[in-house]
Amino acid sequence: MSAPIDSILIVGGGTAGWMTAAALAHALPRGCTITLIESEEIGTVGVGEATIPPIRLFNDTLGIAEADFLRATRGSYKLGIEFVGWGRPDARYFHPFGTFGRPFDLVAVHQHWLAARAQGSAVPLDDLSMAWGAAKRGRFAAPLADPRSVASTFDYAYHFDAGLYARFLRDYAEARGVIRVEGRIAGAERDAQGGDVADVVLVDGRRFGADLFVDCSGFRGLLIEGALATGYEDWTHWLPCDRAVAAPSETDDDGLTPFTRSTVRAAGWQWRIPLQHRTGNGYVYSSAHVSDDEASATLVANIRGVRLGDPRVLRFVTGRRRLFWNRNVVAIGLASGFMEPLESTSIHLIQAGIAKLLAFFPSKTPDPLAVAEYNRVATAEFERIRDFLILHYKLNAGREEPMWRACAAMDVPDSLAVKIEHFRRAGRLIQRENDLFGAASWLAVHVGQGNLPQDGDPLLAHNGDTGASRQFVERLAAAIAGMADSMPRHAEWIAQIGGVHR
């Protein structure tokens, strides 16, 4: 066996840096020195509050109890995202975590829903989702394990203060031996012969070498781009938003909702993310279609609670590094690429990067085959998420503003076009490779944004009699409503685990 590595240097202490440090400290309890350099003066991006369910696996793996985590990060529960004005200006739909109902004979639930609709049923698809049943009533309880219960058919994630999460993970990592260095990095030096990164050099002259470098320096990509000039694939032609303006507010009248809200605006969309102590708000927009001042004014006009602080503009380029692992540098977090926050996927991509790094963990002589596989899988993960995000933009055809008209008319990647066409023809949900967002997620967006099938599943004609689908759908919706009514209020659930609520 080739010699194990002795040292890892993590550059950057945002959410990515401290998640990486905590996970590596947990996975490498001995024999490897882990150092993290960060600069308080530079700071972190400081937004990033909504997540998707796999975050629970990350915390569980590290042995972090949910109640401790939610208390430390002032977090709340998230059952999905409510989309307002997407598809049609007057429309609303929910992208739930979990499924729509339970499997019913051999035919997909949504095929029964389509048949029931044709039979005159007015039950919205959303009402077949347990997550929405609870979310719309402002209720929450942990899912049940019994697969026969509708209360087993949903999943959940969290809203939290990402700055507090990084702080929490810093304590975790330092307690397990991670060395934190405060200092501003001036640059990196490469090995004259091999070309690998040899040293990170601080402004005050200190130098830090390592066997492996993890670049968590944010959009700057100090090592992956600054030192190695890896290159960046720009996806702005598909995902036109390149800025966000953010401002927190006091909790508004809607209160501590167990879901994120995304509302369409003239040149993008606005998020609302409720935490225990405040609500996060932001307008994600295309700078080609609206100025920073106009975007800030729109955000301010649409914040319902008392604003806490001035709007802050952030700039980004949607896309990905051409390589995520280049030589002896692995880029994780914003240094690896960024897709706008529409489906709250960035913190998940940090987790996915860490999981792959552990799966392909190098020795002193890295295996090029493992590095290539890391890059292949990471590319596929980014592209699958990219397609899912583009779906929202492409199907938002009911708006007149120039940005939305351009989105409705744009050519989408072939990998997405085929999925849109399959659903449009017969409601078929096509999965290729390992899609982070499963069939229920795609279904929610197709139906929610008006891509309704022209025809149903031929299998349905051979299963059940006329009226069976309608009966099934109405019973399912009633079962979900009954179960949701029996759940505690979200705020009560949080108070019960020791959190604060209003």
- Which amino acids are annotated catalytic? 78
If one asks whether residue 354 binds ligand FAD (CB under 6 A), the answer comes out as: no
Q: How far apart are CA 387 and CA 376, in angstroms?
A: 17
Residue with smaller CB distance to ligand FAD, 48 or 143: 48
User: Which of 32, 49, 228, 390 is close enough to bind ligand FAD by CB under 6 A?
Assistant: 49
Q: Are 177 and 68 in contact (CB under 8 A)?
A: no
If one asks whether residue 45 binds ligand FAD (CB under 6 A), the answer comes out as: yes
If one asks whether residue 282 binds ligand FAD (CB under 6 A), the answer comes out as: yes
If one asks whether residue 275 binds ligand FAD (CB under 6 A), the answer comes out as: no
User: Which of 7, 26, 42, 250 is close enough to bind ligand FAD by CB under 6 A?
Assistant: 42
Residue with smaller CB distance to ligand FAD, 98 or 226: 226
Listed in order, strand segments (DSSP E) in 33-91 are 33-38, 76-78, 80-84
Per CB under 6 A, which of residues 150..169 are in contact with ligand FAD?
162
Q: Which helix (H) or strand (E) holds 271?
A: strand 268-274
Q: Which stretch binds ligand FAD (CB under 6 A): 8-16, 22-30, 367-375, 408-416?
A: 8-16
Q: Which stretch binds ligand FAD (CB under 6 A): 107-115, 330-338, 386-394, 418-426?
A: 330-338
If one asks whether residue 198 binds ligand FAD (CB under 6 A), the answer comes out as: no
SS3 annotation, 78-138:
ECEEEEECCCCCCCEEEEECECECCCECCECHHHHHHHHHHCCCCCCHHHHEHHHHHHHCC
User: Which of 4, 6, 43, 209 is close enough to bind ligand FAD by CB under 6 A?
Assistant: 43
Neighbours of 250 (CB within 10 A): 14
Give min distance, CB of 151 to ligand FAD, in A: 27
Give min distance, CB of 72 to ligand FAD, in A: 16
Give min distance, CB of 50 to ligand FAD, in A: 4
User: Which of 5, 8, 9, 16 is close enough to bind ligand FAD by CB under 6 A?
Assistant: 16
User: Which of 15, 111, 129, 441 is close enough to bind ligand FAD by CB under 6 A?
Assistant: 15
Phi, psi of 409 (to 5 degrees): -90, -10
Per CB under 6 A, which of residues 288..327 are in contact with ligand FAD?
314, 316
Give min distance, CB of 389 to ligand FAD, in A: 13
Q: Which stretch binds ligand FAD (CB under 6 A): 14-22, 69-77, 373-381, 415-423?
A: 14-22
Q: Which stretch binds ligand FAD (CB under 6 A): 1-9, 80-88, 339-347, 357-365?
A: 339-347
Q: How far apart are CA 396 and CA 404, in angstroms?
A: 7
Of residues 385, 249, 358, the one with CA closest to residue 305: 249
If one asks whether residue 178 binds ligand FAD (CB under 6 A), the answer comes out as: no
If one asks whether residue 341 binds ligand FAD (CB under 6 A), the answer comes out as: yes
Give min distance, CB of 121 to ligand FAD, in A: 35
If one asks whether residue 333 binds ligand FAD (CB under 6 A), the answer comes out as: yes
User: Which of 8, 13, 32, 213 is close enough to bind ligand FAD by CB under 6 A?
Assistant: 13
Q: How far apart are CA 218 and CA 108, in angstroms?
A: 42
SS3 annotation, 285-347:
ECCCCCCHHHHHHHHHHCCCCCECCCCEEEECCCEEECCCEECCEEECHHHHEECCHHHCCHH
Q: Would residue 135 be called left, alpha or beta, if left means φ above 0 and alpha means ψ between -120 and 50 degrees?
A: alpha
Both tokens assigned to 39: 């600069």
User: Which of 73, 129, 217, 251 is close enough to bind ligand FAD by CB under 6 A?
Assistant: 217
Q: Which stretch binds ligand FAD (CB under 6 A): 13-21, 74-82, 366-374, 444-452?
A: 13-21
Q: How far apart are CA 63 and CA 438, in angstroms?
A: 27
User: Which of 10, 22, 32, 38 is close enough to bind ligand FAD by CB under 6 A?
Assistant: 38
How, if at all, do strands 329-331 and 212-215 pair?
Answer: parallel
Neighbours of 474 (CB within 10 A): 15
Tokens 């109640």 belong to 67
The one-letter code for the residue type at 42 is I
Phi, psi of 268 (to 5 degrees): 155, -140
Any idea how long the chain is?
502
Residue with smaller CB distance to ligand FAD, 15 or 328: 15
Q: How far apart are CA 217 and CA 200, in angstroms?
A: 12
Calculate helix-pair angle for 346-359, 15-27, nearest 10 degrees. Answer: 30
User: Which of 5, 79, 108, 216 is close enough to bind ligand FAD by CB under 6 A?
Assistant: 216
If one asks whether residue 256 binds ligand FAD (CB under 6 A), the answer comes out as: no
Residue with smaller CB distance to ligand FAD, 100 or 325: 325
Give min distance, CB of 163 to ligand FAD, in A: 9
If one asks whether residue 10 binds ligand FAD (CB under 6 A), the answer comes out as: no
Both tokens assigned to 206: 């200190």
Q: Are 97 and 157 in contact (CB under 8 A)?
A: yes
Tokens 């699958």 belong to 384
Binding site for ligand FAD (CB under 6 A): 12-17, 37-39, 42-45, 47-51, 162, 184-185, 216-218, 220, 222, 244, 282, 314, 316, 333-335, 341, 344, 346-347
